[in-house]
Amino acid sequence: MKKIECIIKPFKLDEVKDALADLGIAGMTVGEVRGFGRQKGHTELYRGAEYQIDFLPKLKIDLVVPDEQLEAIIGAIQQAAGTGRIGDGKIFVTEVEQAVRIRTGETGTDAL
């Protein structure tokens, strides 16, 4: 099993969620986060004063998937979340040793 963590632009959530649903992904966790990468924030003008916004709003999606679905899911996320502009986000993949469904006690991919 693999854990996929992706950081995306907030307005892309519905497209990513629909793309993952088309692949049969049954669940994910989504959280609001703030951060920056190469984009390094941006400058805004408010009442005539210019100020720097260092941390931009993003969404973080976490999901655990079977190994055999990994490449298809990464491709779907890239396709759905991409705009071709700086700040589209990142995808991180890590190994998951075990998963347990608390209610039933199911383990491994059965717990997903």
DSSP for 44-97?
A: EEETTEEEEE-SEEEEEEEEEE-GGGHHHHHHHHHHHH--SSTT-EEEEEEE--
pLDDT at 112: 85
pLDDT at 16: 97
Residue reference for tokens 């088309």:
22
pLDDT at 29: 97
Domains of the chain, start order:
2-111 (3.30.70.120)
Flag residues of the chain having pLDDT under 50. Answer: none
Residue 76: CB atoms within 10 A of its CB come to 20
Token output for 37: 């990468």
pLDDT at 37: 77
Mean pLDDT, the chain, as a whole number? 90
pLDDT at 39: 66
